[in-house]
Structure 1
Amino acid sequence: MTYKNHKCEELVETYWVRIQLTHKPVTTPLNAPNLKAAIADAIHKRYDNFNKDMVEEVQYDPDARLIVVDVKKPMGERKSDLTNMAYYMEKDVKMLPLFKNQDKFEPTVGSQKLEMENILVYYVDEKAPTFTTDRASGGVFDPQTLSLTLVLAACCFTILQVSN
């Protein structure tokens, strides 16, 4: 696969998706221990019976209204598509649903629906990206190469932070 002057030598599978969700203010405090089950259930129902067991960890910061969800599948598993699930969730949260059913991604924690206001998704592939500087001349990059390099560097930095 190529995009202009960039080549993709090998297609790799995403095995881990980290989703950062910010929810709208709630009237009563959330029961944090029930949050993981609520998120897993909402993913399962909204995204084609997605396997709840892949929701590995959910962290919650009530002051920031921030939920961090780690969804992982075993390396080498090709049946589940984490990238599609995360893509559609991002559209749902940003009020651009792509399904005929225009419902939003709203987990129910206890009796309280949790409406999301922001989402940020990080994708981690089975194989780390590789970079070459074949096109760099004298330390100067063209704008496309520079922006791609910055995005990939940010992803690698995020992956390193996550693994530590």
Structure 2
Amino acid sequence: MTSPTTTHSDQDNTRVIQTNQDPVSIYYIHPSDSSTNQLVSVKFNGDGFTKCKRSMMLTLFAKNKLGFVNGTICAPDVSSPDYKAWERCNDLVISWLLYNLDDNIARSVLFLKTARAIWKDLEKQFGYISMPQISSLEHKLAELNQGQQFVSDFYTKLKTIWDNLDDAYPLPTY
């Protein structure tokens, strides 16, 4: 099985490089991408999934690996020259996800085979807001007042509640 390649043309020179060595490739792994990269500032412990999800998605997008969790980068056929590169990147994304989860949560998804499967499981477990949580947010919103806070601090608290409520009632997509 040969390594997948990308052809780049620089004026009169044409060079062929392996896909996993091409910085624009989805299979490229930067030398600084270790399995213990911290994607979010605090490991996810089951609280505040929306914030954790957003932070992880931003980091994965920046690393050109978001498709491994959102389902846009699917596993190629095992006989494809891209399969080993896909498998290596999938395993790296899995290690990032596991490293950024609390130990108990990480153990619950440890044996899932793809980053996509882990992501879907986390969304299923933590990606919803219950009616008591919504009620609590609405109560906090009703009780919130500026008091002696700076306007910026008050607005940040207000916006955080609004964002959490927006997450609970996402706009429908068609």
Between 1 and 2, higher relative CO (CA 8 Å, sep ≥ 6) is seen in 1
Task: Flag whether TM exceeds 0.5 (same fold).
Answer: no
Structure showing the higher strand proportion among its residues: 1
TM-score, structure 2 as length reference: 0.29
Higher helix residue share: 2
